[in-house]
Amino acid sequence: MANQASNKIKYLLATGAVDFLNDTFKIALMGSGFIFNKDTHHSYTDISASELANGNGYTAGGATLAGVSVIEDDVDDRAEITWNNPSWTAAGGPIGPAVGAVIYDDTHVDKPVVGYIDFGSDYTQADGGTATLASVQVTIS
């Protein structure tokens, strides 16, 4: 899975408006055909129309992320923010197809977009199964 940080999060980090260790972050699954734009996807409202709808075990607005870790990587000259692996259990039908997931900061009123995880292709979780995103990470360089 490839990931991208939004330009908005870089700006908010520079101004001290985001606190990865204390803010609440969510991850939303994006429907087939969604294309992330790190220049224009600034807030949750910019991407919400492309999010999967409520139903079959998925709740619009996404899952709350837990277990944040912030690491300084001096070898690759970047910061890596990771969270525990979120999951959704499909019930009453499939979840998806989803092409990726957007991470956003739910603490702030404008819900700024942190970044995007691209699945590489559409993914659908069959009814009764559990979809788990492994290695949820955003890299700031």
Report the DSSP pairing between strands 130-132 and 113-125: unpaired
| Residue 98 identity (one-letter amino acid) | A
pTM of this prediction? Answer: 0.94
C-alpha span between 115 and 94 (Å, rounded) = 25
pLDDT for res 141: 85
SS3 131: strand
44-92 pLDDT tens trace: 999 999 999 999 999 999 999 999 999 999 999 999 999 999 999 999 9
Give the ranges where the chain is alpha helix by DSSP (H).
7-14, 44-47
Instruction: List the beta bridge partners of residue 30.
Output: 51, 100
- Select from 31, 7, 32, 34 the least CA-distant residue to 112: 7
Predicted confidence (pLDDT) at residue 109 exceeds the cutoff of 60: yes
The span from the first CA to the last CA of the chain, in angstroms, equals 17
Q: 102 near 3, Cβ under 8 Å?
A: no
For 88-108, write each residue's pLDDT tens digit: 999 999 999 999 999 999 999
Element (H, E) at 12: helix 7-14
Q: In what order do the strands lie in the sheet with 69-73?
A: 69-73, 78-83, 136-140
pLDDT score of 3 = 80
- pLDDT digits 0-9 by tens, 29-45: 999 999 999 999 999 99
Average pLDDT, the chain: 94
pLDDT at 2 over 70: no
The whole-number pLDDT of residue 1 equals 52
57 alpha-carbon distance from chain centroid: 17
115: pLDDT strictly greater than 70? yes
Instruction: Determine the pLDDT at residue 131.
Output: 96
The predicted pLDDT at position 53 comes to: 96
